[in-house]
Amino acid sequence: MLKFVETLYLFRSLWAVLAALLVGALLISMTEVSAWTAYRELFSGAFFDYYGVASTLVKMSPILLAGLAVVIPLRAGLFNIGAEGQIYIGALTASMAALYLPEMPAFIHISIVVVAGAMGGGLWGFIPGYLKAYHGINEVIVTILMNYVGINLVSFFAGGPMMQEGAPYPYSPEIAEHLWLPWIMDGTDAHAGVLVGIFLAFVVWVAMRYTTIGFALDTVGKNLTAARYAGINVKRQILVSMFVAGAIAGLAGTFEVIGLKYRLYHMFSPGYGYDGIVVAFLAGLNPVLVPLSALFLSGLKAGAHIMQRATGLESTVIDAIQGLVIIFVAASLAFRFDRTYWRRVLDSRKALHQTLEQKT
Amino acid sequence: MDFIFDLSQLTDFLATTLRLSIPIIFAAVGGVISEKAGVFNISLEGCILGGAFGAAVGAFYTGSPFGGLIVAMLCAGGAGLILAVLGVSLGINQIVAGIAINILMLGLTSFLARFLFGGEATTMTLVGFHPIAIPGLALIPVLGPVLFNQDLLVYMMYLMVPAAWWILFRTPWGLNIRAIGQYPRAADTAGINVQATRYYAVVASCMLAGLGGAYIVLSQVFVFTEHMSAGKGFIALSALILGRWNPVGALLAALLFGLFDALQLRLQFNSPDVPYQIFSMAPYLASILALVLLSGKVRPPAAIGVKFVRGAK
């Protein structure tokens, strides 16, 4: 019985998601569409339809990578709200490398493009990390503000120096076809970015669990004093975790350019960086669960459009439900499994039963 | 920069500065109250948005801007209540709770606005407040039209900032708020109800931010658009640090950011051939720079972000 209660607690994120979907159903039932139909269209569209799955996977690539970019610093107790800006800057530097470097073998060029994207995002993560480590400035505010700077910077380049001649709105020229990422599903937009994301999630998991780097990071997050006492260089941990996080988010931006759009568009990300926060909490900060929660969230987003086409229900309802998901998941964090409490409850219940049986 | 020497252009520029600062001022002073009480309020952004949405709904259904104000405060106060439940009662990390509220408000207001207003959402014009010139004072050159030919919400702000300062630093109530932000255990021993005071402070804080959102809708654009808070809540967060957790300081810092915002609009207007986004960054860059310059010199309330449990060690 104790085991059973513990298992219930273990899946509290799942209960939180179900509760959010339930409240979401109330929101939907304010409209003329029935919640059942809406959810059926949404989930069957996102997960059981060839083209639906493809569009889920397209969204999953940046959302999964952004989730990792939130998880890594958070293990050290740092909030990276800046994945959005890091995605933008990664896309910017990757497009610059793709468009302006001289002719060279495709394999070398694509490597340079990917590294450039990672470095751009990494730099955008490094700056708030540096300000936190050496000046004690709140990384939450800095990363958020840097998002706005990053987004505007991309709009400036896409609408100014890098703009395609005669384009109706800001976007760059198309990058060469030999730099495009391969597709993973025939006849769809689904590209290999998502596979890289899953691979990286696994790498991050291994690094967190089995290497001293991961252990040091966790120690900083769990007990700063102990970390200092153990001789861990806390400042370096902050710098490294924010740089790596930024680099991973930068990859998300890179893959949006070389995997999906093939140009640098202004405002190309509909908030994937912020989705990363939801994903990270949904996964309970466990890198290996990040792909799963990213799959769920991107399915929700891709399914939202399918649902809107099928039922006429505004897809923004899914944004509201996503907000509910994170509120409920956040609330569920407060409920920790308390073994002694539950043992006492169950023991007294057993005792009560025994007394009752003796009487009859 | 020659517009500074032309009186009518200078008046116009300063008026724009004030106009762009108002939402930040309301939110920043709100943030001061909550952080003084020991609660991080990252959700200021969501509260501005909630206030803007509430103002639109209230004005739409009651046909009066005052109805808008009331609904705005209810919506933002509701968001504050969620923050208080999550961050004060349940003891969830207040930054996590704040982020969650921002994401919720963004989604919820977008959906409800489309649901309630339908296709009219972006084309309608809501009733709002209009400038009332204060006789005599409005005639002072430059400052008169800038400061004393404003609408009700601006005059409310003039009263709100000194009132907030007075309450925080000159009344027992304010002493309680500051005490629970510095050393909740001592405050508890002295008989102050820590949790309840934090609840009041957080809800009041969010309501003020909501007024900032209401100002955007009821005095500036008369329409609700998705994500219209556009990061103002986050700028308010840096304004309150720059203002050293003091309402008057927060006011001055918010005005500074408003000045940068007005300046970038002016630069956009004066150099149409340069993509305007390079100027749009100005207020955000100014905020980051302000934080860097101030680092190490200011200190937040000691117990900020720390959950208080009665009787715990």
Residue B214 lies in a domain: yes
Name the residue facing A144 among B92, B115, B234 (closest C-beta).
B234
DSSP A334: T
How much of chain B, in percent, has pLDDT values that exceed 90?
36
pLDDT above 70 for B121? no
Give the pLDDT band (50/70/90) at residue B3: low
Asked if A138 lies within 8 A of B291 by C-beta distance, the reply is yes
A323:B91 CB<8 A: no
At residue A67, the pLDDT reads 96
For residue B18, what are the domain limits?
14-131+145-294
Tens-place pLDDT, residues B4-61: 677 778 888 888 899 999 999 999 999 999 999 999 999 999 999 999 999 999 998 9
The answer to the question of residue B138 being in a domain is: no
Mutate to test the interface with B, among A79, A152, A172 (most CBs of B within 10 A): A152
Largest CA distance in chain B: 64
Q: What is the pTM of this model?
A: 0.89
- Residue B303 belongs to some domain of the structure: no
CA B117 → CA A321, B121, B192, B292, distances in Å? 20, 5, 45, 43
The predicted pLDDT at position B1 comes to: 57
CA distance A294 to A297: 5
Percent of chain B with pLDDT over 70: 96
- Read off the CATH number of the domain in which B81 is found: 1.10.3470.10
Q: Which residues pair with A73 in a beta bridge?
A: none
Query: A167-176, B41-50, B208-217: which range is least confident on average?
Result: A167-176
The mean pLDDT value for A298-312 works out to 89
Which residues touch B15 (CB under 8 Å, ≥6 apart)? B145, B146
Name which of B103, B237, B278 is nearest A274 (Cβ-Cβ): B103
Q: State the average pLDDT for chain A.
A: 89
- Is the confidence at residue B313, as pLDDT, over 70? no
A291-296, long-range: CB < 8 A, 24+ apart: A291/A60, A291/A64, A291/A197, A291/A198, A291/A201, A293/A13, A293/A67, A294/A60, A294/A63, A294/A64, A294/A67, A294/A197, A295/A56, A295/A60, A295/A64, A296/A17
Instruction: Answer yes or no: do B281 and A149 touch at CB < 8 A.
Output: yes
Residue B308 confidence class, pLDDT cut points 50, 70, 90: confident
On chain A, the residues whose CB falls within 8 A of the CB of B42 are: 140
Chain B contact set for A138 (CB, 8 A): 241, 291
Contact B107 A278 (CB under 8 A): no
φ/ψ of residue A39, rounded to 5: -65, -35
Count of pairs with CB atoms under 8 A, one residue in A, one in B: 130
What is the average pLDDT across A308-326? 86
| Strand positions, DSSP E, chain B | 132-133, 149-150
Instruction: Please tell me which residue, B312 or A137, carries the higher pLDDT value.
Output: A137
* B95 contacts in chain A (CB < 8 Å): 79, 140
| Cβ neighbours of B83 in A, within 8 Å | none
pLDDT attached to residue B247: 93
Query: Does residue A42 surpass a pLDDT of 80?
Result: yes
Q: Which residues contact B297 (CB under 8 A, 6 or more apart)?
A: none
Tell me which chain B residues have a C-beta less than 8 angstroms from the C-beta of A149. Answer: 281, 284-285, 288
Which residue from A156, A281, A323 is facing B278, i.e. has the nearest CB?
Answer: A156
Nearest to A137 among B101, B284, B292 (CB): B292
pLDDT at residue B86 greater than cutoff 80: yes
What's the domain count of chain B?
A: 1
